[in-house]
Amino acid sequence: MKESINHIKSFRIEGKTPGPHVLLAAGVHGDEYEPVLTAIELINELPQLLISGSVTIVPIVNVTAYRMSSRYGEDGLDLARICPGKPDGSASEKNAFEISTLIKASDYLVDMHTGGLAHHIYPMAGFMLHPSGEVLEKQRALALACNLPVIWGTDHRPNGRTLSVARDEYIPAIYLEYGGGSGIRKEVVKTYKDSCINVLKYLKMAEGEAEIIAPEKRFWVEDSMPDSGYFQGKMPAPSDGIFVCEKTPGEPIKREELFGKIIDPFTGSSTAILADIEGIVLSVRVAVHVKKGDALGSILPIVEPGKVIIN
Ligand SMILES: [Zn+2]
């Protein structure tokens, strides 16, 4: 295979008049497909919708991860941990460098994800709790304009992310999470497309008024505790086995309520997984066979719509 084939391919759409430059990214993880389809639909539809500014769309950020249907590139690297990458590095490092270069040339970043093959996530828009109040306010506004039920601000310190590249450049940046598991969920493709178009309307780049659901109707959590946004570290499995989840994303859950159980097929024993906090279920593991330490899901510490601050 020719090496050049593993470079990022980006598509730029120009409005008729000057304005902001928005970067829409998908495929940072190679096993998250709906955002890629959203990106393709936007490449086809934005030329008719965009009135000002410009939009750069990258349907696949980590090219070899996509080819391997994996979260990780052919070098075993998670691109969301190695930004800003290296121009002369391995495949994922090169793609990380390429997307970081595009981020630095943009005014806003929207990075679209799903839970991959292993997790199913309730629709949310997330951002880092940027130390600059001005950038933070812009990120909150972008997240609100996505019209997803959950808004999640988390620790700004982690590095290696697309969002940390944007953070260091003071470029407002958000990421979206919704769905995951096998198959295609058309509602995720549609929802993300609506989110992106509404963001462009909010920025006065597309025709029409942005419609924005009231903030008090969202589940809005801002949590500045270290690594608060780190999904893979939440609810680690206490043992190997078959995970039988009892909850779905968006459901309320009480402290000590049954989240799921792990069945050991060799002994027949069952280990109950209880919620350690009260809140709503943000994500559940859908890859059934678990190893000790695998994240089984996550609970957002909020019981009714409104805003919760944790620090
Ligand atoms: Zn992802």
Asked if the structure places residue 107 within a domain, the reply is yes
Asked if the structure places residue 208 within a domain, the reply is yes
253 and 198 fall within a common domain: no
pLDDT tens digit string along 202-242?
Answer: 999 999 999 999 999 999 999 999 877 777 778 999 999 99
| Residue in the structure block whose two tokens are 């934005």 | 46
Average pLDDT, the chain: 96
**What is the 285 CA–ligand 1 centroid distance (Å)?**
14
**What is the 160 CA–ligand 1 centroid distance (Å)?**
13
241 and 210 fall within a common domain: no
Task: Tell me the residue range of the domain where 70 lies.
Answer: 3-223
Give, in degrees to the nearest 5, the angle at Cα 243 between 241 and 247: 165
pTM of the model: 0.96
| Residue in the structure block whose two tokens are 């349907």 | 59
160 and 276 fall within a common domain: no
258 and 179 fall within a common domain: no
Asked if the structure places residue 173 within a domain, the reply is yes
CA atoms within 13 A on the CB side of 148: 33
The residues placing their C-beta within 5 Å of ligand 1, an ion, are 29, 32, 113
**What is the 34 CA–ligand 1 centroid distance (Å)?**
11
**What is the 116 CA–ligand 1 centroid distance (Å)?**
6
Tokens for 115, please give them: 């839970």
Report the amino acid identity of residue 193.
K
219 and 243 fall within a common domain: no
7 and 118 fall within a common domain: yes
**What is the 64 CA–ligand 1 centroid distance (Å)?**
15
- Give the chain as a DSSP string: --GGGGS---EEEE-SEEEEEEEEE--SSTT--HHHHHHHHHHHHHHHHB-EEEEEEES-SSHHHHHTTSSS-TTS--GGGTTT--TTS-HHHHHHHHHHHHHHT-SEEEEE---TTTEEEEEEEEEE--SSHHHHHHHHHHHHHTT-SEEEEE-S---SSHHHHHHHTT--EEEEEEE-SSS--HHHHHHHHHHHHHHHHHTT-BSSPPP---GGGSEEEEE-STTTT-GGGSSB-SSSEEEEE---TT-EE-TT-EEEEEE-TTT--EEEEE-SS-EEEEEEE---EE-TT-B-EEEES-SSSEEEEE-
pLDDT of residue 1: 47
Asked if the structure places residue 230 within a domain, the reply is no
**What is the 28 CA–ligand 1 centroid distance (Å)?**
6
204 and 255 fall within a common domain: no
Using the 3D structure, point to which of 223, 247, 266 is the last residue of a domain: 223
pLDDT of residue 231: 73
187 and 110 fall within a common domain: yes
**What is the 265 CA–ligand 1 centroid distance (Å)?**
31
Per DSSP, what are the bridge partners of residue 125? 151, 176
CATH number at 298 reads 2.40.50.100
CATH number at 138 reads 3.40.630.10
**What is the 29 CA–ligand 1 centroid distance (Å)?**
5
Asked if the structure places residue 53 within a domain, the reply is yes
- pLDDT tops 90 at residue 18: yes
Asked if the structure places residue 307 within a domain, the reply is no
**What is the 256 CA–ligand 1 centroid distance (Å)?**
29
CB 177 within 8 A of CB 282: no
Compare 18 and 3 and report the one with higher pLDDT: 18
Using the 3D structure, point to which of 189, 223, 257 is the last residue of a domain: 223
pLDDT of residue 269: 96
216 and 241 fall within a common domain: no
**What is the 80 CA–ligand 1 centroid distance (Å)?**
8
Using the 3D structure, point to which of 194, 223, 252 is the last residue of a domain: 223
Residues 109-126, mean pLDDT to the nearest whole number: 97
254 and 212 fall within a common domain: no
Asked if the structure places residue 183 within a domain, the reply is yes
205 and 294 fall within a common domain: no
pLDDT tens digit string along 7-17?
Answer: 999 999 999 99
Residues 25-46, mean pLDDT to the nearest whole number: 98
pLDDT tens digit string along 231-288?
Answer: 777 899 999 999 999 999 999 999 999 999 999 999 999 999 999 999 999 999 999 9
Count how many domains the chain has: 2
pLDDT of residue 234: 83
Q: How many residues does the chain have?
A: 311
**What is the 72 CA–ligand 1 centroid distance (Å)?**
10
pLDDT tens digit string along 66-95?
Answer: 999 999 999 999 999 999 999 999 999 999
Asked if the structure places residue 194 within a domain, the reply is yes
Q: How many CB atoms are closer than 10 A to CB 87?
A: 12
pLDDT of residue 226: 87
**What is the 176 CA–ligand 1 centroid distance (Å)?**
9
Name the pairing type of β-strands 252-253 and 279-285. Answer: antiparallel
**What is the 92 CA–ligand 1 centroid distance (Å)?**
14
129 and 256 fall within a common domain: no
**What is the 252 CA–ligand 1 centroid distance (Å)?**
24
